[in-house]
Copies of this chain bind each other. A is one copy, B any other.
């Protein structure tokens, strides 16, 4: 493996909780090139020949294995664009840890656009964890535009945990999914924006198969002058159940726009949405402040609990 500098090691820790090379399959991409790779008996990683990116091929029946594919960018001004396709066979049970960290201490804008496409085989279960993180005191901005496309075959199940906690100036996060019979998709999305950051999140799910289900839970905090836009579209095209929930805390001059959309195209589609936007409840703050916390500490504790 190419030697990583201190910044790069810190980024790896932030986005993938990696302090050493992981167990199992992995592909570490640093500054637009592959920095380290490992495959296993059941998991192949193949460099694409037509465009930047990799194919991750997981053999049918692979269970209790993991794939780490973190991306780190420490060169200021780098624009990285990558296509990763995941082919997950039948009857698998795997964990995939992605994530991208940008350290920008220069004046050029750094950008990472990752397009991840998942083909999840029948009866397979995938846990997908994705963290986005930025840092660096340079004048250059940090952009990330992740696109996630999920195709769930019969009785497949995917659980996504997506997080953007800090340091991304501008992001457009798109997730689309189509669900076959008996399949299910669960998304837990967490985002916090500060300063003048701007974040757009769009979720689209087509519940095409009988008995399919989708549950999207989004929690967001908008601080200072930051702005967030949340859109979700659930299309119930079969007997199915869908639920989306968007809870947002606004602070300072933060602004949050929530626009969920439900479309029931089938009489046996059952769709529910809830959204709530507001500031931290005064009573909650008071309670913690009577326990000796300052207002700022109390706010932090409440936000950490909210985004946990």
A257 vs chain B, min Cβ distance (A): 4
Q: How far is the CB of A247 from chain B (nearest CB, A)?
A: 10
Q: Does more than half of chain A's interface fall in helix, strand or loop, or is it mixed? A: strand
0/1 string, A247-266, CB within 8 A of B gives 1: 01011111111111111110
Which of B255, B259, B267 is within 8 Å of A264, CB to CB?
B255
The CA of A272 and the CA of B245, in the complex, are separated in Å by 11
| Residue pair B250, A257 in contact (C-beta under 8 Å) | no
A166 at the B interface (CB under 8 A): no
In chain A, residues 86-142, which have Cβ atoms closer than 8 Å to a Cβ of chain B?
none
A172 within 8 A of B: no
A273: interface (CB < 8 Å): yes
Check B248 against A267 for contact (C-beta < 8 Å).
no
Pick the contact of A253: B261, B263, B267 (CB < 8 A). Answer: B267
Assess whether B261 is in contact with A257, with CB atoms less than 8 Å apart: yes
State how many angstroms separate the Cβ of A67 from the closest Cβ of chain B.
37
| Chain A residues within CB distance 8 Å of chain B | 236, 248, 250-265, 267-279
| 23 A-B pairs (CB sep. < 8 Å) | A236-B277, A248-B264, A250-B269, A254-B267, A255-B263, A255-B264, A255-B265, A256-B262, A257-B263, A258-B262, A258-B263, A258-B273, A259-B260, A262-B277, A267-B279, A269-B277, A269-B278, A270-B277, A271-B277, A271-B278, A272-B278, A273-B273, A274-B274
Name the 9 nearest CB pairs between A and B, nearest first: A270-B278, A259-B261, A273-B275, A264-B277, A257-B263, A271-B277, A258-B262, A272-B276, A250-B264
Q: A254-B267, A257-B264 are in contact. List 15 more A-B contacts (CB 8 A).
A: A250-B264, A250-B269, A255-B263, A255-B264, A259-B260, A259-B262, A262-B275, A264-B278, A269-B277, A270-B277, A270-B278, A271-B275, A272-B275, A272-B276, A274-B274
